[in-house]
Amino acid sequence: QVQLVESGGGLVQAGGSLRLSCADSGHTYAMGWFRQAPGKEREFVATISWNGGRTYYADSVKGRFTISRNDAKNTVYLQMNNLEPEDTAVYYCAAGLSTGTMSYEYDYWGKGTLVNVSS
C-alpha cells in the first residue's frame, strides 16, 4: 500500500519561498504535484519520473518551481520561489506509473498541504 504524506505548507508573503515535501512509503513511482484553489478544479503543477531523469512543469510555474526527489529518503520535494497570490491552493502529491499531467494518470494521493500566499 502506497501512503503519501505532504508537509511544508503555510502562510508566506508574495515573493517568498516554500519547500513542500512528500514522504512516500518506499515505492518507486513517477511523482506529481497538483494543486486546487478554492472554487477551482485541481490542476497539474509538476511531475518527475521514477529515476528523476525527466521533469515537466505547468507553464504557470515554470522557472519558479522545481521538483526533485531523494529516493534514499523516500521523499519528493517541490521548491517554490517567487510565490504569487495566485499560487494559493491546497497542494497534493501523487504517485503513478508515468509522468502524466492529468489527475487520472496517478493512482495514489496524499491528503494535501495548504499554501497561502498573501499580497
Under 8 Å between Cβ of 82 and 12: no
Tens digit of each residue's pLDDT (9 = 90 or more) over 9-43: 999 999 999 999 999 887 789 999 999 999 999 99
pLDDT average, residue stretch 65-69:
97
* Mean of the per-residue pLDDT values of the chain: 95
Euclidean distance between CA atoms 56 and 15, whole angstroms: 22
pLDDT average, residue stretch 47-71:
96
Euclidean distance between CA atoms 32 and 103, whole angstroms: 9
